[in-house]
Structure 1
């Protein structure tokens, strides 16, 4: 996954945690606008989320953030 995409995921997780608290859940769609303007990035995150890590549809933002930080 590209460094830019990782940074975006961390930023979104931080924002959601700040807004809704430590236990907020999100799906991989949270990292994209409602309009599919970057299908390659969407597929990259979906593959990481679903195939690579076999995560549930909703996961805790703090878990996703930690998983991404562990790859930096």
Structure 2
């Protein structure tokens, strides 16, 4: 996963955790704007989320952040 996407995921997870607590869930769509202006990046996130890690549609932000920080 490219560094830009990793940084975005960590930032979004940190903001959601700070706002709503440790149990807040996210989907990979949370890391993108409402319009699909970066389709290649969206597909990269989807492949990481669905194919590589077989995550559910919503996962705890703490889990996603830990996966990204570990380099998984």
TM range (shorter): over 0.9
What RMSD over aligned residues (CA atoms) do the two structures have, in Å? 1.0
Using structure 2 for the length normalisation, give the TM-score.
0.97
Deviations 1:7-58 (A, max 9, x none): 1100000000011000000100000000000000000000000011000000
Residue matched to 2:46: 46
Q: Detail structure 1 runs of 4+ shifted over 2 Å in the superposition.
A: none
Work out the number of aligned pairs and report it.
Answer: 72
Q: Which runs of 5+ in 2 are unaligned?
A: none
Alpha-carbon distance in structure 1 between the residues aligned to 2:32 and 2:56: 18
